[in-house]
Amino acid sequence: MATGTTVRWIVRTFSELCLTIGSLIVLFVVYVLFWTGVRADSAMDGELGRLQDRWSTGPVSAASPAPDDDKAQEPARPAYRDGEPFAVMYIPRFGRDWAKPVLEGTATGTLQKGLGHYARTARLGATGNFAVAGHRRTYGDPFKDFPRLRPGDPVVISDGTTWFTYRIDKRPYRTLPSDIGVIDPVPRASGYDGPGRYLTLTTCEPEWGHSHRLIAWAHLDATSPVAEGRPAALRS
């Protein structure tokens, strides 16, 4: 009897432990798949609202020179503040309503509120490489459809005064997280052969992992004042 009672107790305890662990796993999956997305969507909406409020109070700065005017002096612009939004990115390939705030820095908390600008890279529209990171999954899944990017796709970014239209130059490139040359002024493996006004987008690979990175490179194709209305890439 004692042996049978002990066996039943062990089986019952093991079963209850399995149920508890299973419940915790389910709760964790719900948190990762649902709750982080809800929080991130709310945070991104808040950052977009902050930008609109800021831009409605007055102009940010003068418009940038045209992308083919390499000798033009790039205008002075306010410094980007760590963790603060300064632009909005639109990628029509990801949907007509896809719009995400771009914040300064790539800290964990920053990337939970939108896309993050690598602080050591060029400023928006400037000569060099304006590099931006975003989550593939969780926290709103901003770059969930990253592999769908194709050469010629527009990536439009606004700083409240100027529209900057970049064009993707090649399909996403897969590399290791240690390959920091992908955000150099002339990005390694990009195919660019000299200085220019480039955009680099980075995200995790595989979709639910982070062992590798996916990279997309683009060049500045056109600029226009916000006062003239949305650029053609966002009207088609």
So which residues are the catalytic ones? Answer: 135, 204, 213
Q: Which residue has the tokens 């660019």?
A: 192
Residue 201, amino acid: L
Q: What is the pairing mode between strands 197-205 and 128-133?
A: parallel
Evaluate whether 87 touches 50 at the Cβ level (below 8 Å): no
- Cβ–Cβ under 8 Å, residues 136 and 205: yes
Residue 70 backbone dihedrals phi, psi, to 5 degrees = -65, -25
Phi and psi, residue 37, nearest 5°: -65, -40
Tokens 């890279």 correspond to what residue? 121
CA dihedral 217, 219, 224, 230 (to 10 degrees): -40
